[in-house]
Amino acid sequence: MPREKFHTLTEQMFYILLVLREECYGMDIMMQIQLMTNERVIVGPGTLYNLLEQFEQAQMIKETKIEGRKRSYIITALGLEALQREYHRLNRMIYDYESHT
Amino acid sequence: MKRDRKRRIESFRFNDFEAIEAHLNKMAQKGWHIEKITPFYWQYKRIDPVDRHYTITYFAQASDFSPYPSSNQEMFYDYCNECGYQLAVTWAQMQIFYTDSEDAIPIETDEALKLNSIHHAMKKNFLPSTVVLIVLAIFQILMQVSSIIRMPIMQLSNNVYLSVIFAWSIVGISGGISLVSYFKWWRDSKKATSIGGTCLPTKGHRHLNLVLLLLSLGVLLWMLMTLYEDQLIWIGIASVGQITMVIFGVNFVKNKLKAAGVSRKTNMTVTVISAIVLSFIMMGLLTTFVFKLVDYHRAHQSTAVERTFSSPNGTKHTWYVHDDPMPLIVEQFKAIDFPDYSYEAQDNNSILLRWRQYDQRDYTFNPDIPTMYYEIIDVKFDWLFDYCLNYYLQQYVDDYAVEEGFKTNRYREIDASLWQADVAYQLYYGDEPSETFLFCKGNRIVKIGYDWMPTEAEMTFSSEQLLNE
């Protein structure tokens, strides 16, 4: 089940979906994540390719256009739902941490 | 003049990416860059020595039969190129990239995903082909073992036959090690990545691979030497040539279809068909060649003469009549002068057994002409002796006849002193003694069949000749 597969997101999955709230070309996703996280999070080209393929299969992102060999993607409602679920999970963790320290 | 290219036989397993990466890094430091991988060798191109970093990824959708990379593969290459990686070479699903940059982003930055894509690729090619190879090896070994059970003396005294068993055992062991080590690595890596760790280092067993490769070459050499001793070296050369031709031919078809831009599915279908057809053609040619060579060999043996005889019922048959040296002949027992005897000797010698067969025949099939047949078996290992003796003792036992209470052939132990042996047996048909005897001394077994019932003196004389021969 795709939803079960991405029930929680890794850091790299989270940032890819975050970047794809706006239409973006594959390689630009890598650059934007580096900029966004000040190079704290790095997504390698193999990992990026695999995650985009899996997100697309899970209908969490969709292809928007193909220019030559370049493909652009954007997040779908399913992807946004996963992103928000992860955001709430992280918030819950922060809340738990703060209330116990 | 320095060579610009060199070819090496490499003993890496398909899943041993870490050892391959380390090896290619070292080769680049020595000034050699990987250029091509074929089933026979890896080809390197001379470059200036450089600290180059090779990275291997597995792309499950890639195929050795595709005429060009798929659009997904090209997209993947583009991503890698933009991160500073160049594609060096592909080997089925294995994609070998390199970069000269010290701080290039790793191609894989998620270990669980990396493991997943490796396993996905392995399931497509490496695992099924290894399983097929192991099944084939087990099937071959079982066939050979069942043949040994049916005809132990013939098979165990033949080095070619034994070397075939060794060769298939090496194939099976090598495949088994690959499979077990891969699954162990995959299981342990899965555990590690599921708790945020990294994939475990692959254990390439490179030294073991090298040992197995050397063993295979040793077995091949042993097989060829045995054939050479038996003056049948051309069969060995033709067999090796046949396998090489099939591999070359199939690769040639695949590469030509790739170059012509034929689709992956068509290429795969045509290549598989061509492999089957080529194997059958080559097997047919080899069989014809073997028969012709054996015929030639027989006809040109110094003692073999082609002669036509009439049998008592008047029909004419042509036989090869031999004049091989024999340690015991009918003339030593009977005052007979028969010029048409064929004296036939065969000597099979392996690392386990020496089996000599002697047959003094009369192709006129005249019932008044006495004939004789005997075998001398020298067992080279004590542990094998009882097995060989038992084979002879059970040779004529007919379980069905025993169950039904019919008369059957069976050896009975007799006084061994007549044969100057440790133990002796005589074949009986029911309660009727026959002229066939079996006797052993030390690790030698002798089976002898006379055309007449030998006297005690003849028995003693026979054993003197055959036990001390």
Residues B247 and B371 in one domain: no
In terms of pLDDT, which residue wins out, B53 or B400?
B53
pLDDT classification of B234: cutoffs 50, 70, 90: confident
Tell me, what DSSP letter sits at residue B414? E
Q: What is the mean pLDDT of residues B369-381?
A: 96
Residue B373 is assigned to a structural domain of this protein: yes
Residues B332 and B451 in one domain: yes
B402: Cα within 13 Å, side-chain hemisphere: 7
Given this model, what pLDDT does residue B231 score?
A: 66
> Rounded distance, CA A27 to CA B135, Å?
45
Q: Is the pLDDT of residue B313 over 80?
A: no
In single-letter form, the type of residue at position B394 comes to Q
Chain B: residue nearest A51 by CA? Answer: B113
Which residue from A12, A47, A69 is facing B75, i.e. has the nearest CB? Answer: A69
Q: Do B57 and A47 touch (CB under 8 A)?
A: no
User: What's the mean pLDDT when you consider all of chain B?
Assistant: 89
Residues B361 and B456 in one domain: yes
Residue B318 is assigned to a structural domain of this protein: no
Is A8 within 8 Å of chain B by CB? Answer: no
Its domain, for residue A51, covers 2-99
Residues B263 and B334 in one domain: no
| Mean pLDDT lowest among A64-78, B196-210, B409-423 | B196-210
3-class SS of residue B447: strand
Chain B: residue nearest A13 by CA? Answer: B110
The strands making up B32-37's β-sheet, listed across from edge to edge, are: B5-8, B42-46, B32-37
Query: What is the number of CB-based contacts under 8 A between chain A and chain B?
Result: 65
Residues B369 and B255 in one domain: no
Q: What is the CATH number of the domain that holds A31?
A: 1.10.10.10
Is A68 within 8 Å of chain B by CB? Answer: no
**Sign of the Cα pseudo-torsion (B22, B27, B29, B34, in order):** negative
Residue B303 is assigned to a structural domain of this protein: no
Residue B407 is assigned to a structural domain of this protein: yes
Is B199 within 8 Å of chain A by CB? Answer: no
- Given a contact cutoff of 8 angstroms between Cβ atoms, the answer to whether B94 and B56 are in contact is yes
Residues B278 and B332 in one domain: no
Distance of CA B83 to the CA centre of its chain: 48
Q: What is the mean pLDDT of residues A53-59?
A: 94
Is B119 within 8 Å of chain A by CB? Answer: no
Burial of B328 (0-12, 13-18, 19+ CB in 10 A): buried
Given this model, what pLDDT does residue B298 score?
A: 67
In terms of pLDDT, which residue wins out, B355 or B71?
B355
Residue B383 is assigned to a structural domain of this protein: yes
Given this model, what pLDDT does residue B15 score?
A: 81
Query: Considering B107, B132, B160, which residue would you say is the last residue of a domain?
Result: B107
Is A48 within 8 Å of chain B by CB? Answer: yes
Is B214 within 8 Å of chain A by CB? Answer: no
The full DSSP string for B30-75 is: TTEEEEEE-SS-EEEEE------EEEEEE-TT--TT-SS--HHHHH
Is B82 within 8 Å of chain A by CB? Answer: yes
Angle between helices B206-229 and B233-259 (to 10 degrees): 130
Chain A: residue nearest B114 by CA? Answer: A47
Residues 6+ apart with CB under 8 A from B356: B345, B346, B347, B348, B375, B376, B377
> Rounded distance, CA B285 to CA B20, Å?
39
Q: Do A51 and B113 touch (CB under 8 A)?
A: yes
> Rounded distance, CA B14 to CA B22, Å?
14
Residue B356 is assigned to a structural domain of this protein: yes
Q: Which residue's structure tokens are 């009727």?
A: B432
Please tell me the distance in Å from A47's CA to the nearest CA on chain B.
5
pLDDT classification of A1: cutoffs 50, 70, 90: very low
Chain A: residue nearest B83 by CA? Answer: A45
Domain count, chain B: 3
Check: complex ipTM more than 0.85? yes
Which residue from A10, A27, A42 is facing B79, i.e. has the nearest CB? Answer: A27
Chain B: residue nearest A41 by CA? Answer: B109
Contacts of B60 in chain A (CB under 8 A): none
Q: Is the pLDDT of residue B300 over 80?
A: no
Q: What is the mean pLDDT of residues A49-54?
A: 94
User: Percentage of residues in chain B with pLDDT exceeding 90?
Assistant: 51
Given this model, what pLDDT does residue A3 score?
A: 41
Given this model, what pLDDT does residue A2 score?
A: 40
Given this model, what pLDDT does residue B227 score?
A: 75
pLDDT classification of B302: cutoffs 50, 70, 90: low
Is A37 within 8 Å of chain B by CB? Answer: no
Residue B411 is assigned to a structural domain of this protein: yes
Is B198 within 8 Å of chain A by CB? Answer: no
3-class SS of residue B390: helix
> Rounded distance, CA B260 to CA B86, Å?
25
pLDDT classification of B301: cutoffs 50, 70, 90: low
| Mean pLDDT lowest among B71-75, B224-228, B324-328, B423-427 | B224-228
Domain count, chain A: 1
Residues B281 and B336 in one domain: no
Which residue from A27, A46, A71 is facing B108, i.e. has the nearest CB? Answer: A46
Q: Where are the alpha helices (DSSP H) in B151-263?
A: 152-156, 159-194, 206-229, 233-259
Q: Which two tokens stand for residue B27?
A: 């080769």
Q: Which two tokens stand for residue B381?
A: 């290992």
Query: Considering B45, B72, B107, which residue would you say is the last residue of a domain?
Result: B107
Its domain, for residue B36, covers 5-107
Please tell me the distance in Å from B88's CA to the nearest CA on chain A.
16
Given this model, what pLDDT does residue A87 score?
A: 95
| Mean pLDDT lowest among A46-50, B72-76, B218-222 | B218-222
Of A29-33, B197-201, B365-369, highest mean pLDDT: A29-33
> Rounded distance, CA B244 to CA B41, Å?
13
Q: What is the mean pLDDT of residues B136-155?
A: 92
